Amino acid sequence: MANKGKILVTGGTGYIGSHTVVELFNAGYEPVVIDNLSNSNIGVIDGIKAITGSLPVFENIDCKDYNSLERFFEKHSDIKAVIHFAASKAVGESVEQPLVYYRNNIVSLINLLQLMPKFGINNIVFSSSCTVYGQPEILPVTEQSPIQPATSPYGSTKQMSETILRDATVADKNLSVVLLRYFNPIGAHPSAEIGELPNGVPNNLLPYVTQTAAGIRKMLRVFGDDYNTPDGSCIRDYINVVDLAKAHVCAINRVLEKKSKKNIEVFNLGTGNGVSVLEIINTFEKATGVKVPYEIAPRRAGDIEQVWADASLANKELGWKAEETLENTLKSAWKWQEKLMAKNKEE
């Protein structure tokens, strides 16, 4: 396949980043990866190779380090676009260590935006989050839904980053930006060569579900069954990580082919379906045949009651649609968990 050009993927060994590197290869791009491995490991690169047969260029670089980043760009002067994943993402941790979050997430973005024009790079796709909508009054949420005050430093960094990128496009008419607002990414590559690698006790629902099913955790706690939802548990829009990764390829095609007249665009990336925590547990049990012991626990501070996406803009403009079923996605998460356990036994 013809090489469609080099794409810098920051945070390319992370959960969504690694799945995106695979899809970039599949689409004929040449992804180059930088990551400081703060929340991932170098073995992910082997997983990418196992799936695609291609080994991406990898450098251990922290995007906060302007000089290292500049040296990297000097070496790779032919990068066509950047997909910027590298960021910290744990809501609770961000409340405890706000300055770490502001430095990691904001300084990195500013460094990239300062360096890109120096090297003639005009295109950036940014990982944003549905967290910017808070608890929306009207569901599903469209890209026009109001942005609500952030409830955590993590959320603030996503809002600030969006503002920084918007301001940058006003000042630099050559810059093209796509902001992708992710809903809740779950699952793993169907090969189980790559997946989510949570550090310590998981915060997010799916890794907690699979670890409980595996017996690593005793009991899943369902945070609240007294919400104003059909079964009382919170509702989210859970999107398959491979589907999500494919949306990045569509966004890259769009900026490189200059398909839009606007130099900044925003897209929701979700399935358009709201699914409750209890539905996730039931569907997981049905799809895998494995029980997930759980108990109802008090609400988790700061949780949104319900949110799901109107993804029709991405469907129409990016030509992208979430395709995988929830059952298959949950199966893929379980297959990945089993693989991790088999690996741990070997070691």
**How does 227-254 read in b/e, with b if 16+ C-beta sit within 10 Å?**
bebeeebbbbbbbbbbbbbbbbbbbbbb
For the segment 212-251, give every residue that binds ligand UD1 (CB under 6 A). 220-223, 234, 236
Instruction: Out of 32, 44, 63, 130, point to the residue binding ligand UD1 (CB under 6 A).
Output: 130
* Single-letter code of the amino acid located at 99: L
- Contacts with 141 (C-beta within 8 Å, 6 or more apart), sequence order: 130, 133, 268, 307, 308, 309, 310
Is residue 139 at the binding interface for ligand UD1, with CB under 6 A as the rule?
Answer: no
Catalytic sites, residue numbers: 154
Q: Are 83 and 247 in contact (CB under 8 A)?
A: no
Q: Minimal distance in Å, beta carbon 43 to ligand UD1?
A: 22
**Binding test (CB under 6 A) with ligand UD1, winner from 104, 129, 211, 337:** 129
Contact (CB, 8 A) for 84 and 126: yes
Among 277, 278, 322, 326, binds ligand UD1 (CB under 6 A): 277
Identified binder of ligand UD1 from the candidate list 20, 127, 131, 156, rule CB under 6 A? 131
* C-beta separation of 165 from 178 below 8 A: no
Examine residue 148 and tell whether it contacts ligand UD1 (CB under 6 A).
no
Residue with the CB atom nearest ligand UD1 in the bound state: 234
146 DSSP 8-state letter: P
**Given 205, 242, 278, 311, the residue binding ligand UD1 (CB under 6 A):** 205
Using the contact rule CB under 6 A, the part of the chain among 73-81, 167-175, 296-304, 332-340 near ligand UD1 is: 296-304
Q: Applying CB under 6 A, does 102 fall inside the site for ligand UD1?
A: no
Size of the site for ligand UD1 (CB under 6 A): 22
Q: Which of 273, 239, 240 is nearest to 140 (CA)?
A: 273
Tokens at 129, concatenated: 């989050």
Positions that interact with ligand UD1 (CB under 6 A): 89-91, 129-131, 184, 203-205, 208, 220-223, 234, 236, 277, 300, 303-304, 307
